[in-house]
C-alpha cells in the first residue's frame, strides 16, 4: 500500500476544504458587515419616518391614544421588516423566517381573540368618533347608560347618574347600537300630562305655553 499517495490525497482534500471554509468565512463576514450597516442605516431611517408620521398625526389632530397606537404599530412593523431583510442578508431563508412569524402571530391571535376584538373596536371608536368624552350615551345591547369619562384602546368607561362606574368592552360597543344623547344641541322631549275631562284644552295649551316661555326665556 502506497501511504505517500494516501497522505497526499488527504492533504489535498483538507487543503481544498480549508480553502473552501476560508472563502465561506469571508462571504459570511462580508454579509455580517452588510447586515450591521443595514441595521444602523435602517434604524436611523425608521426614526426619521416615525417623526414624520408623528408630525402628520399632530397636524391631523388625531386622538392621542390613536396617535400613540399608530406610531407604535408603524415602528414595530418597520423594524420587523428590517429584521427580515437583515436575516435574509445573513443567510436565513426568508420563507422560513416569514413562516415562523406567521405561526407566532396566529398563536397570539387565537390566544387573545377577545382582547383583539376589543382592541379593534377601540381603534374604530377613536377614529370614527361616534361619541366623545363628556357625552351621555346608552349601549342598547346591554342597556347601560351614562356619561363617557374615558375611551381607551380596550374599554370605554361610563359614569351613571347615580355615580356608578361602568366599564364596557369596546368590541361590544362597536357591535351594537349606541344612543348618543349629547350629539345634537337640541333634542325633543315628550311629556305626558294628565288633564281632567272638565278642563278646556285651549286653556291647558295656554298655560303650558306660558310655562315653556318662562322656562326657555
Give tens-digit pLDDT for 116-167.
778 788 888 877 888 888 899 999 888 899 999 988 878 899 999 999 999 9
Beta-bridge partner residues of 114? none
Q: How far is Cα 116 from Cα 174, in angstroms, rounded to an integer?
A: 13
CA angle at 183 for the pair 177 and 189, rounded to the nearest 5°: 90
CATH of the domain at 163: 2.30.30.60
Overall number of domains in the chain = 2
Looking at residue 9, what is its pLDDT? 56
User: Are 95 and 168 found together in one domain?
Assistant: no
Whether the predicted pLDDT of 90 surpasses 60: yes
Proportion of the chain above pLDDT 70, given as a percent: 74
- 3-state secondary structure at position 169: strand
Residues with Cβ within 8 Å of residue 53, at least 6 apart in sequence: 70, 71, 74
CA atoms within 13 A on the CB side of 199: 11
Residue 148 lies in domain: 131-180
| 42 part of a folded domain | yes
Give tens-digit pLDDT for 69-81.
778 778 888 888 8
User: Are 8 and 102 found together in one domain?
Assistant: yes
- 3-state secondary structure at position 195: coil
| Final residue in a domain of this structure, among 80, 111, 142 | 111
| 198 part of a folded domain | no
| pTM, full prediction | 0.53
pLDDT bucket at 2, cuts 50 / 70 / 90: very low
Q: pLDDT higher for 209 or 5? A: 209
| 162 part of a folded domain | yes
User: Are 83 and 139 found together in one domain?
Assistant: no
**Virtual torsion, Cα 7, 10, 11, 13, nearest 10 deg:** 160
Beta-bridge partner residues of 155? 169
Whether the predicted pLDDT of 24 surpasses 70: no
Average pLDDT over residues 176-197: 85
Residue whose grid cell is 381607551: 152
Average pLDDT over residues 44-52: 90
- Return mean pLDDT, the chain: 78
Q: Show the cell assigned to 138.
A: 346608552
pLDDT bucket at 180, cuts 50 / 70 / 90: very high
Q: pLDDT higher for 88 or 97? A: 88
Whether the predicted pLDDT of 172 surpasses 90: no
| 190 part of a folded domain | no
Residues recorded for the chain: 217
| 124 part of a folded domain | no
Give me Rg for the CA atoms of the chain. Answer: 34
Give tens-digit pLDDT for 92-116.
666 666 676 677 666 656 655 666 7
User: Are 81 and 19 found together in one domain?
Assistant: yes
User: Are 145 and 53 found together in one domain?
Assistant: no
User: Are 90 and 155 found together in one domain?
Assistant: no
Amino acid at each position: 500500500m502506497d501511504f505517500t499517495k494516501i497522505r497526499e490525497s488527504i492533504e489535498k482534500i483538507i487543503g481544498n476544504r480549508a480553502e473552501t471554509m476560508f472563502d465561506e468565512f469571508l462571504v459570511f463576514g462580508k454579509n455580517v458587515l452588510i447586515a450591521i450597516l443595514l441595521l444602523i442605516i435602517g434604524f436611523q431611517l425608521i426614526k426619521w419616518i416615525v417623526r414624520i408620521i408623528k408630525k402628520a398625526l399632530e397636524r391631523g389632530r388625531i386622538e392621542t391614544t390613536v396617535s400613540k397606537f399608530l406610531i407604535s404599530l408603524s415602528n414595530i412593523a418597520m423594524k420587523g421588516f428590517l429584521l427580515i431583510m437583515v436575516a435574509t442578508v445573513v443567510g436565513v431563508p426568508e420563507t422560513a423566517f416569514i413562516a415562523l412569524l406567521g405561526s407566532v402571530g396566529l398563536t397570539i391571535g387565537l390566544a387573545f381573540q377577545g382582547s383583539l376584538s376589543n382592541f379593534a373596536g377601540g381603534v374604530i371608536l377613536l377614529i370614527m368618533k361616534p361619541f366623545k368624552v363628556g357625552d351621555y350615551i346608552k349601549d342598547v345591547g346591554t342597556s347601560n347608560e351614562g356619561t363617557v369619562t374615558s375611551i381607551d384602546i380596550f374599554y370605554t368607561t361610563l359614569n351613571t347618574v347615580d355615580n356608578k362606574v361602568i366599564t364596557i368592552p369596546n368590541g361590544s360597543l362597536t357591535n351594537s347600537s349606541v344612543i348618543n344623547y349629547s350629539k345634537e344641541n337640541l333634542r325633543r322631549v315628550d311629556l305626558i300630562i294628565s288633564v281632567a275631562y272638565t278642563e278646556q284644552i285651549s286653556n291647558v295649551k295656554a298655560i303650558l305655553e306660558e310655562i315653556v316661555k318662562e322656562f326657555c326665556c
